[in-house]
Every structure is written in C-alpha cells, then in structure tokens.
Chain A
Amino acid sequence: MAGLTREEILRQLRERILAFATSRGSREGAEDLTQDVLMVLHEKYPHVSELTELVPLSFQILRFKMLDRHRKMLRRGEYNPESLDDQPLVDSGDDPAMQAEQKERATQLIAALQQLGERCQKLFRLKLEGHTFPEIQQIVGERSINTIYTWDSRCRKQLLALLGGQWETLPLKGKCQIANKETVG
C-alpha cells in the first residue's frame, strides 16, 4: 500500500468521491462533480503525488466545488425561484456573507465547546495548540495512547451532537431539500 502511484490513488479517489457525491445528490450531478475535482487535481496540482497530500487536497477541492455548485444553483433559482434582481452581484473577492457565516460557525463551535466536560475542553485546546496525540498522551500522563484516542473520539461525537450532527450547516441545504421535494412531489 505504501507504494501507491499517483494514478492508482486518483483512480480510487474517483470511486470514493463519486460515491460520496451520489449520496448527497443525483448521480448525474455527482459525476460532474467528481470530474471537476479530478480536473483540478490534474491541471493545477500535477506535482502533488504523495498520498498524505493528495487525499486531503481532494477533500478540500470537493468541498469548494460542492459549495460552488450550491451557489450556482441558488443564482439560477433552482432552489427557490426568485427574481434575479433581488440577488446580490457576484464578487470574486472575499464574500462578506461567507465571512459572517464563518464567524457565526466559530461562535457556535465555542458555545458547544463550553458545554463539554473539562477533559474534552482540554483535549480540544491541546489539539488546537498543535499537539499530536502522542504529545497529548505525555502531557496528560496517560500510559496508553488508545485512552487518548477513545477520549477524543467520544468528545468529538459529543461536540458533533451539540452542533446538530454536522460541522457545517449549508444555508442552502434546507431550501434544496424543500425544492427537491416540491419537484418530486
């Protein structure tokens, strides 16, 4: 497994991305999305060949592409037909709405973290300070690293539950579901 070539990694990535995108929308849209991601990887990042760089890079591109598609669909009025004049102009720069959304998400995350136990808060803080799990094990003074993994896994689940089961609440998702239902119905 250690000697995976870039082509092999990309082939497996294609399958996974397609399956993931299909679970989030239509098959047709998923194929387009997968193709878009692979195109970016091929054109802009031909020098990236290591597994530990290529996989997170694909996740990042996938996320951007998904957000982009949501925006486009909103602009086209696929979710909620509205007059184009009511929609704001597209700005290629920093999107104030996105910035505000990110700020809001950070506030929500902080509020959720405050509700966690002392141990979870400490674990999260240490992770944010850049400590790896082995380092956290030493700081906390635990004998087994598996204890740290278990604590972290539980804390993550608690935090995710406090945030409603998703790290990112796409503002369009609700509208998307409603629109789809209306279309289907």
Chain B
Amino acid sequence: MAKSWEQILGGYATATLTEEEKRQLFEAALHDQTLFDALANEEALKALLADPEVRQRIVASLQATENPQVSSSPQGWWKGWFSRPSSLAWAGGMAAMGLALIFGWQMEKDWGPMVQQELQVETSVPEAKENKDEVAFRSQLSGIGEVNEETPAPQKKNQKESEPVVPISAPTPGPQPLTIAKAINDTDRMRQTSAKVRSERVSRQEVKKERRLKAKKPIAPVLESRVVPNVPEEDQFVAPSVVFPSTAEEDFQQLSRSPPFADQVRKEDVPPSPSARDLFYANKSNRADEVGKELEGMRAQQLLGGMSSKKERVIKEEALGLVEVQEAVLDFVLEPKRGIRYSFVRKTLDSKEAPPDITQFLGNLAELRLAIESNVSGYLYVLADLGKEKWQLMRTVSLDIPVSSDGGIKVMPYQTVDFALSQVTNALGEPVVSSLTVLLSSRPLMDLGRWLGTVVITEPSEGRLVESGDQGVFIMDRKGKPEKPLRVEITLVN
C-alpha cells in the first residue's frame, strides 16, 4: 500500500474526504489489495460513525476533554481568554476607555457649539474690556506704586482686576443657568491668562503705547451695541438669544433632532410576516438573531434614554412597538416549526444543476434525484402510490443514513437526503406514479398505513406556508400537531 493512500485513509471513516481524495483513494484501492483490505476494515468504524448520535456523543466527550485546557476553537479560545485575570483587567480597561470616549464624544456633541460660541465671545471681549483693564491697572499703580509685573500672583491679580470694575457696573448677581455660569468662569480664566501673558512679555512703556493707539481706534461696533450701560458685565452673556440668536436656534434644532436610530425606525416599515423559507431556516439562526436583538434593544434604550420631548416619546413608543413585533416573531421562531424543503436536482459528473420545474420537465426523469431536507430531526418516509392501496417506500441514494425498522429515514436538521427518481420511472424515463408522498414524523411511524389513506389526503392544509423558489419548494407546518406527521404531496405529472 502506497504511503500517501495510507495517510488519507483516516478520512474515509469520518466521511471527510474531498471528492478528489475519494476518487484517488478508490482508484488506488481497485489496484492495491492491501489498500482495499484496509478500506474494507475501515467500514466498521465508518458504520459506527455514521450514526449521528454516536458522532455527537464522541464530539461532546472530546469537547469536554478539551474545554479545561485552552481550546483552539474560537469559542473555547474566548472562554479561555476571559478566564484569565489579566485578560479581564485588559478588557475592563478597554471598556472603560471606550465608555470615556463615548461620553466625551457625547459631551462634545452636546456642548461643543456652546463652547465654540463662548470662545468667539472671548476673542471679541478682551478688546471691549481693554479700557476697564486700563482703569484697573492705573488704580493699582496709584495705590501700590511700583508693581513688579514680571512676577504677578494670578489670584491676587484676579482680585485686583475685578475690584475696580465693581463700582462702575454695580453688579446684581442672581441665579444663572449652568451654561452661562460656565461661560463666565471661562471668560474670567481667559482674562486672567491674557493679562498674565501681557504682563510677562510686554514692557510697561510698550503697554502704554499700545493702549494709546488702541484708544484712538474705534471699538468694534458689534460690541458697542451689545454692551448695555449699568448692566453687570456678567449679565451681558446671560441672554444668548440676544447675543447669538442663530446659534441658539441651531442648538434647539440639534436637541430636537431625532437620533440616527429614530430615523431608522421611521424609515423602516413594520417587518413583513416571515416567509416559508425564512421560517424553514429560522431554527438555524435563532441564537444569532437573539443576540442581535438584545444588542439592538440595548442600543435603542441608550439612544432613547436621554430624550424628553413629545416627539422623542412618540419615537420611543414606536421603537418599543417594533421591539414587541420583533419579540412576537422571535417567539414564533423559537418554537421550532417543522417543515421541509424539496427540490429536483440532476446529478452530473461535475456538479448539480439548478432544480428544474418537474411538471414541465420533458427529459429523462430517471436522471433526476429528489432532494429533501427537513428543518427538524425526525423520520422521513417517501412513498410512491402504486394504486390499489399499494405503496412503494423509496430508498435513499446514500446508504450512510440510518433507517428505522419500519423504513423511516432518520434525518438530522438541515440534512439533505437524495432519492433517485429512477425508482419510479419506466425504461423510457417516464414516471410510473403521478405523485410522491412525503411523511415527516418526530418518531418512527410504526403504523404507516394509518397515514396513507385517502382521509388524510383531504386533510386541510390550513396553517401551512408554501413557497417556491430557486432553492426548491419550502413547506412549513405552522399549526400541525407534533404527534401527527407532516404530509406533503409532490406532483410528478400534471
């Protein structure tokens, strides 16, 4: 036996060889008796592993062995990674940083325009304040004499600057909004800084010269109009509507603007009722949908949490309504509804062709296969009605699929089972039966004849969803009782 064939022998029993590997292996086995014997011996293991229950049992035991260690599978790797304290600390740090960034971004979004306005005010206010500063400076000079301007104490200077202004403007402080108070504080801080810089870098003569020149220049007309005599200097910034009407309006618009999620809520209509195909594959994606929904719900709550106006309340209610609809759909989906998908495929040497419309198919029917897939595990029976209450149980193409004693094919969810239509065709490839009956049951139907009578045929198909498409025909049994098998008639001839 060649070395290379011996190496891929291990994939035969587990049925994990690629088509190319299989072809090479079997070709070699026809010429190599040792390889043939080895493959024949592997058949016992293959038969054992063909049982899905045994397979699952072995996988579960191997996973249980691997779990205590750090597994290489993505899920196991994550579990292992999160179990380490250092990883947890790192994740916590990253989460905190992320939260801080989000908070900062939110703050910037909320307060950014206002701060911008204040900064704009600051750029224009120092000029208006120049005269007052000069007065204060002169009073200091007269009171103290020589002032060492090179090493000023900022706090003292602040006091000295503000004191002379008081008698002029006669302030009447009152409760101010937080934003305005912040703006005033910022203005004071800016004023202190500018005074400090000036005193540090510019000599006294230069300051005087500069002030004289500035005195000759007219004060900015905008500021003149804004400054109201005998009104405290801080009060000039109290009414933003007067000073910055357009910006305040923008702010209001920004606050009243719906968040991106609300836009989505409005744009998206109520989700359409799920199709048979969606329901068929719903069992497959239950968990992913659940997690996605949870995240969406959390995001919605975060975004909607800060709103208070009527408009946002309406949007919030709409969103909650949508969540309820989603929950209803999810409830429907979480309770697995059985259904089958069937299609007709033509087996060629290379690949499977698209399923043809069987009733309009004019070719050789014996070349086709009926592919049936169920979304739940159970027992599948495909029967051809031969007339006179005689039924023929169709065999699967693959022999790996376990069969119960009454001929029920044990299928796993989404396992495709192929049936050669040559079993129900004559020598010319024409069908000898008009239709095929498919029964899907959760357990073996020991009394198969009970479900094949004409009474059952006339059973109303209420609560069934049928959808035809490129992938075949989907039939979902929404109201069927689990103890009764799902019965589907597949017409071969119109």
**Chain B contact residues: over half helix, strand or loop, or mixed?**
helix
Q: Which residue of A lies closest to B37 (CB)?
A: A20
| B16 and A23 contact, CB distance less than 8 A | no
Given the known interface contacts A127-B14, A153-B7, the answer about A114 and B405 at a Cβ–Cβ threshold of 8 Å is: no
The listed residue (A1, A55, A168) touching B44 by CB distance below 8 A is A168
By a CB distance below 8 angstroms, the chain A residues around B114 are none
Q: Within 8 Å of chain B (Cβ to Cβ): is A87? A: no
| A71 at interface, CB cutoff 8 A | no
Q: Contact residue range for chain A?
A: 35 or more
List, in ascending order, chain B residues with CB within 8 A of A133's CB.
8, 11, 16-18, 21
Q: Is there an interface contact between A149 and B8, defined as CB atoms closer than 8 Å?
A: yes
- Contacts A13-B30, A132-B18: A125 and B7 contacting too (C-beta < 8 A)? no
Q: Does B315 contact A (CB under 8 A)?
A: no
How many whole Å from A140's CB to the nearest CB in chain B? 7
Please classify how large the interface on chain B is, using the bins under 10, 10 to 19, 20 to 34, 35 or more.
Answer: 35 or more
Among A62, A114, A125, contact of B40 (Cβ-Cβ < 8 Å): A62
Q: In the complex, are the beta carbons of A56 and B366 less than 8 A apart?
A: no
- The answer on a CB contact under 8 Å between B58 and A113 is yes
The closest CB in chain B to the CB of A50 belongs to: B349
CA distance A106 to B39 in the complex (A): 20
Main secondary structure, interface of A, reads helix
Q: Which residues of A contact B42 (CB under 8 A)?
A: 167
Q: Are B62 and A19 in contact (CB-based, < 8 A)?
A: no
Q: B456-468 CB contact bits vs A (8 Å, 1 = yes)? A: 0000000000000
Please pick, from B6, B18, B54, the residue contacting A134 in the complex, using a CB distance under 8 A: B18
B404 engages A94 (CB within 8 Å):
yes
The residue among A16, A59, A127 with the most chain B CB atoms within 10 A of its own CB is A59
How many whole Å from A115's CB to the nearest CB in chain B?
10
Within the complex, what minimum Cβ distance (angstroms) separates B220 from chain A?
69
| CB atoms of A166 and B41 under 8 A apart | yes
The interface bits of chain B over 298-342 (1 if a CB of A lies within 8 angstroms of the residue's CB, else 0) are: 000000000000000000000000000000000000000000000
Question: 17 pairs across A/B with beta carbons < 8 Å?
Answer: A9-B30, A12-B31, A19-B33, A20-B40, A47-B422, A48-B397, A56-B26, A92-B405, A122-B72, A125-B66, A128-B62, A130-B16, A132-B11, A134-B18, A150-B7, A152-B7, A168-B48
- A-B complex: 3 closest residue pairs judged by Cβ atoms: A168-B44, A93-B405, A149-B7
- Report A's interface with B, CB cutoff 8 A: 1-2, 4, 9, 12-13, 16, 19-20, 23, 44, 47-48, 50-53, 55-57, 59-60, 62-63, 92-94, 102, 105-106, 109-110, 113-114, 118, 121-122, 124-125, 127-134, 139-140, 146, 149-150, 152-153, 155-156, 166-168
Instruction: Report B's interface with A, CB cutoff 8 A.
Output: 4, 6-14, 16-19, 21-23, 26-27, 29-31, 33, 36-37, 39-49, 51, 54-55, 57-59, 61-63, 65-66, 69, 72, 349, 366, 395, 397, 399, 404-405, 420, 422
